[in-house]
């Protein structure tokens, strides 16, 4: 379980973990964006909330995760990225994992507030393939253009400043309190400083924690 504020690098770390351990990344944000792109019933329901940077309803994401965990690529393990985000989600997840007898590890990526703002405001995305770039930490070869398909990069709708503020607010009020919840439940919880080190250095720390279990 990768836990941390928006911009803490959960998505980047998930991708590195997928490569190293051959287990899938389950990102509720990516799954929801996918439904919005398809314009289906779930997408229509969540689109306005996502654009505004507020959390979508617990039962919507819980159902998505529950269905996803039933797929056979999850049998050997999985990475949860951006889920759970509320206590109600954490309770449902606990039940799902207990029913499957899954061993759990929570990694909390701790990032300085100013670093988050700088990262999110410099973030650009390819509208075609979804690859993320960053003006400072991961610039494209040609400014403003995707390395992979040459498309013109855009600011993700919810990376606009006023929406970033909402997302951070949602994190502080609804998600951060889960750390105490995990602690009380006696979950294995590790904190990693993800403000200063490179993504590779952060990854090595996480990989070490997982291999130690």
Interface with ligand ADP (CB under 6 A), residue total 17
Beta carbon nearer to ligand ADP, 108 or 167: 167
Q: Does 50 bind ligand ADP (CB under 6 A)?
A: yes
Torsion angle of C-alpha atoms 84, 122, 159, 14, degrees rounded to 10: -20
Which residues are CB-neighbours of 161 under 8 A, at least 6 positions away?
A: 121
- 157-176 residues in contact with ligand ADP (CB under 6 A) are 158, 167
123 is catalytic: yes
* DSSP line for 106-152: EEEEE--HHHHHHHHHTEEE-TTT--EEETTTB--SSTTB-TTT-PB
* DSSP line for 45-74: HHHHHHHHT-PPPHHHHHHHHHHHHTSGGG
Q: Does 49 bind ligand ADP (CB under 6 A)?
A: yes
- Residue 173, token pair as written in the block: 């009020």
Q: Which of 17, 29, 125, 206 binds ligand ADP (CB under 6 A)?
A: 29
| Residue range at the interface with ligand ADP (CB under 6 A); choices 14-22, 35-43, 78-86, 134-142 | 78-86
Using CB atoms, what's the residue nearest to ligand ADP? 29
Q: Which of 45, 138, 156, 185 is catalytic?
A: 156
Distances (CA, A) of 92 to 55, 89, 197: 16, 5, 33
119 is catalytic: no
Q: Does 205 bind ligand ADP (CB under 6 A)?
A: no
Distances (CA, A) of 32 to 1, 38, 55, 57: 18, 10, 11, 12
Beta carbon nearer to ligand ADP, 56 or 111: 56
- Residue 140, token pair as written in the block: 């494209």
Q: Which of 6, 13, 24, 192 binds ligand ADP (CB under 6 A)?
A: 6
211 is catalytic: no
Quick check: bond before 84 cis, omega within 30? Answer: yes
10 is catalytic: yes
Using DSSP's 3-state secondary structure scheme, residue 39 falls into coil
Q: Which of 16, 17, 26, 55 binds ligand ADP (CB under 6 A)?
A: 55
For residues 98 to 127, the per-residue mask of contacts with ligand ADP, x marking binding by CB under 6 A and - elsewhere, is ------------------------------
- Nearest Cα neighbor of 49 from 154, 128, 208, 158 is 158
Residues belonging to the active site: 10, 85, 123, 156, 167
Q: What is the contact surface with ligand ADP in residues (CB under 6 A)? A: 6, 28-29, 32, 49-50, 53-56, 61, 82-83, 85, 89, 158, 167
């Amino acid at each position: 379980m990768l836990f941390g504020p928006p911009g803490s690098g959960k998505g980047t770390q998930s991708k590195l973990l997928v490569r190293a351990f051959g287990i899938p990344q389950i990102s509720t944000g990516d799954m929801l964006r996918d439904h919005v792109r398809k314009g289906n019933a779930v997408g229509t329901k969540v689109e306005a909330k996502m654009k505004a940077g507020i959390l979508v309803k617990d039962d919507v994401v819980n159902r998505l995760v529950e269905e996803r965990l039933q797929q056979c690529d999850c049998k050997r393990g999985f990475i949860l990225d951006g889920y759970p985000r509320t206590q109600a989600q954490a309770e449902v997840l606990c039940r799902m994992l207990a029913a499957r007898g899954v061993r759990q590890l929570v990694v909390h990526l701790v990032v300085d507030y100013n670093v988050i703002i700088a990262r999110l405001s410099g973030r650009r995305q390819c509208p075609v393939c979804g690859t993320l770039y960053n003006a400072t930490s991961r610039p494209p070869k040609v400014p403003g253009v995707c390395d992979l398909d040459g498309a013109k990069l855009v600011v993700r709708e919810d990376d606009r400043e006023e929406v970033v503020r909402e997302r951070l607010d949602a994190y502080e009020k609804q998600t951060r309190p889960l750390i105490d919840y995990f602690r009380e439940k006696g979950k294995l919880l590790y904190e990693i400083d993800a403000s200063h080190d490179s993504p590779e250095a952060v990854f090595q720390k996480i990989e070490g924690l997982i291999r130690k279990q």
